[in-house]
Amino acid sequence: MVGRTLWPGESRLKGWVYLFPGLAIYLVFVFYPILETFHASFYKWDGFSSNRTFIGIENYRNLLGDGQFFKALSHNLIFLIFYCIFPILIGLVLASLLGRRPLPGMSFFRAGLFLPQVLSMVVVGVMWRWIYNPAFGPLNLFLKSVGLGALNRSWLGDFDLALPAVGVIGSWVQYGFCMVLFIAGMQRIPKELYEASELDGAGSLRQMIYITLPGLRAEFGVALITTIVAALRVFDLVFVTTRGGPGDETLVAAFLVYRSAFQQNRIGYAAAVATVLTLVIFLVSFLILRVQSRQEE
Amino acid sequence: MRKPYRWKSFLPNYLILTLFLLVVFLPIFGVLLSSFKTQTEVIQGPFHLPREFQFNNFVNAWTTGRFSDYFRSSIIVALAVVSVSVFLSTLTGYAFGVLSFPFQHILYFLLLIGFMTPFEAVVIPLYHFMYRLGLTDTYWALILPQIGLSVSFGTLWMTGFFRSAPQELIDAAAMDGCSRWQMLWLVLWPLARPAVLTLVVLIFMWTWNEFLLALVMVQKETLRTLPVGLAFFQGRYTADVPRLAAGSIIVAGPIVLVYVLFQRYFIQGLLGGAVKG
């Protein structure tokens, strides 16, 4: 820590006094349960009976073997396209179209584009269920009114379309965030870099590749972590829009945890899924932070 | 004479931004409009104006839909979580940022883990733990874990602030004979206003919108928070758009209001300090 010292005669334990209440609540209600989830993943237990048996890595073996887990995980990976790749691409293209001049009134647009970030995903889900409603949803009404009524679908009930339909909601939530992030980032890149490159005869594509993209490294890090973790964690949205259906076509890892633990009473199995999901999230966040700090050196 | 020229040169930018802003606003506007309609009017199309504004939808949601209960729960939980978390995070952040004590780095890392932890990772044992303590179906089950998670982010956030506090100020306070406690509340706390405000609005938003914990911990209908209440409400009235829209507005209203008032702090906090201003 930077240059902070204790006073002469001050107890080294004083810091612990300030730390204690917050740390205690954290340890009891967050940290201990993390360890306990890992622990529980080695047992077979129905959640209420007193007979809880140690079965080693059986839960993990089941999870690798039953197809359900991989199906859920593959849906999370497809959500990466919608939560992460689309929003980041949209954000980048738009930020570069807008250029680097500060725009009067930008704070209004920024606030508006950011709005989906603060809405409860339950509200977002209810809203899009209405939009996708097969009988009177605005999407089908719109298609019909422009003569494309043949395209009308039960979007969230369709085996092939439900997953991308839920994914689109994710893009809707995330793209404004990425746009705002990149627009702000571009305005921080020193304009001398662009002027110098113009003198050297670099076109706008070259400027994009050699100046803009490297200059946005920090923003990429923030955008990647936020959107990837959001795609891996999806729960509320699926609960509200499809509950994993039709069939298991929109089943995601977090919903599998909930369903196994609280509807099917398979505590050990659910804990194993939760453990893997948490490790993946930790790993991804850690890797991105690592790559970033290495590039900054 | 330069001004009109400049304005025009911004026109394409405004067009692009407006287009993407509409994609955000139109669905929200559609829901807002629907909350004032009758079911028959909803079917006519999302942007047809209602013939008569039906405030009844809100009254129905509030009374028969029990949103008054959900609202009370959400307010109680959010106020408790925000006030306690911000207070405790200030103490822990102060410890890491200004004091020095044994095992500092290990303890900091321990808290960092919580910041990355999703509730999915803890909710199963947490439920059984709370059940054994007899705390399921009480506000405690919603408040305590949420404080734990908020304190981990809050500690990182406030440590950042306290580390950046000028050393001269701390030295001067020491010279004046301040105790550590007085230094925190009389010298540093008044400077912490922007950092604290950001923390307040972020924790408020996360708590207000939290879903999984509230879904699992509470079965009693009167204790449900707004998001969980709305989710079950939707299960019951799948096709009743006006009622669902009114419910959605009740859930989103307070957070949008806080957002409009404090948007700078929200955006700054959510972008992780990548954006200044």
Residue B50 lies in a domain: yes
B246 in reach of chain A (CB within 8 A): no
Q: Which of B94, B120, B262, B276 to mutate to test the interface with A (most CBs of A within 10 A)?
A: B120
Using an 8 Å Cβ cutoff, are B170 and B98 in contact?
A: yes
Taking only Cα atoms into account, the Rg of chain B, rounded to an integer number of angstroms, comes to: 23
A288 and A279 Cβ atoms separated by less than 8 Å:
no
Could you report the per-residue pLDDT of B14-55, keeping only the tens digit for each?
898 999 999 999 999 999 999 999 888 888 888 888 888 889
Q: How far is CA B113 from CA A278, B144, B178, in A?
A: 11, 18, 34
Contact (Cβ atoms closer than 8 angstroms) between residue A163 and residue A249: yes
Residue written as token pair 């659910």: A270
Same domain, B182 and B225: yes
CB contact under 8 A, A94 and B270: no
Would you mind telling me the total number of residues written for chain B in this entry? 277
The answer on B90 and B172 residing in a single domain is yes
Nearest to B163 among A2, A130, A254 (CB): A2
pLDDT at res. A82? 97
The CATH number of whichever domain residue A245 belongs to comes to 1.10.3720.10
Interface membership of B263 toward A (CB under 8 Å): yes
| Residue B270 placed within a domain | no
Number of domains in chain A: 1
Predicted ipTM of the assembly: 0.92
pTM, rounded to two decimals: 0.92
Inter-chain residue contact A141 with B46, CB threshold 8 Å: yes
CA pair distance A105, B190, nearest whole angstrom: 31
Minimal CA–CA distance to A222: which of A262, A185, A272? A185
Residues B52 and B118 in one domain: no
Does B256 score more than 90 pLDDT? yes
Kindly report, residue by residue over A212-232, the tens digit of the pLDDT: 888 888 888 889 988 999 999
Quick check: A37 contacting B, CB < 8 Å?
Answer: yes
Contacts of A222 in chain B (CB under 8 A): 271-272, 274
Q: Does some domain include residue B265?
A: no
pLDDT of residue A197: 85
- Whether residue B189 has pLDDT greater than 50: yes
pLDDT confidence band for B274 (50 / 70 / 90): very low
Determine contact: A45 vs chain B, CB below 8 A: no
Nearest by CB to B263, from A5, A31, A111: name it.
A111
pLDDT for residue B175 is more than 90: no
- Closest to A235 (Cβ–Cβ): which among B31, B102, B120? B120
Q: What is the CATH number of the domain that holds B123?
A: 1.10.3720.10
Provide the pairing of β-strand A53-54 with A43-44: antiparallel
Is A22 within 8 Å of B275 when comparing Cβ atoms? Answer: no
Q: What is the pLDDT at residue B174? A: 85
Tokens describing residue B62:
């509030």
pLDDT of residue B190: 92
Asked whether residue A214 is domain-assigned, the answer is yes
C-alpha B77: how far from chain center: 12
Q: How far is B149 from chain A (nearest CA, A)?
A: 6
Q: A interface mutation test: which of B17, B92, B251 has the most A CBs within 10 A? A: B17
pLDDT digits (tens, 9 = 90+) for B46-87: 888 888 888 999 999 999 889 999 999 999 999 999 999 999
Q: Which residues pair with A116 in a beta bridge?
A: none
* DSSP one-letter string for B119-131: GGGTHHHHHHHHH
Model pLDDT for residues B216-250, shown as the tens digit of each residue: 999 999 999 999 999 999 988 888 899 999 999 99
Query: What secondary structure does DSSP assign to B248-265, as a single string?
Result: HHHHHHHHHHHHHHTHHH
Residues of chain A neighbouring B227 (CB-CB closer than 8 A): 120-123, 236
More confident residue, A170 or B119: A170
Please give the structure tokens belonging to residue A233: 């964690």
Contacts of B138 (CB under 8 A, 6+ apart): B223
**B143 or A185, which is more confident:** B143
- Do B109 and B80 fall within a single domain? yes
Residues of chain A short of pLDDT 50, as ranges, are: 1-2
- Interface list for A 166-195 with B (CB within 8 A): 172, 175-177, 179-181, 184-185
Could you tell me if residue A115 is inside a domain? yes
Give a yes or no: residue B255 inside a domain: no
* Residues ≥6 apart with Cβ < 8 Å to B204: B78, B82, B255, B258
Q: Do B98 and B203 lie in a common domain?
A: yes
- SS3 per-residue string spanning B142-171: HHHHHHHHHHHHHHHHHHHHHHHCCHHHHH
Name the domain count of chain B: 2
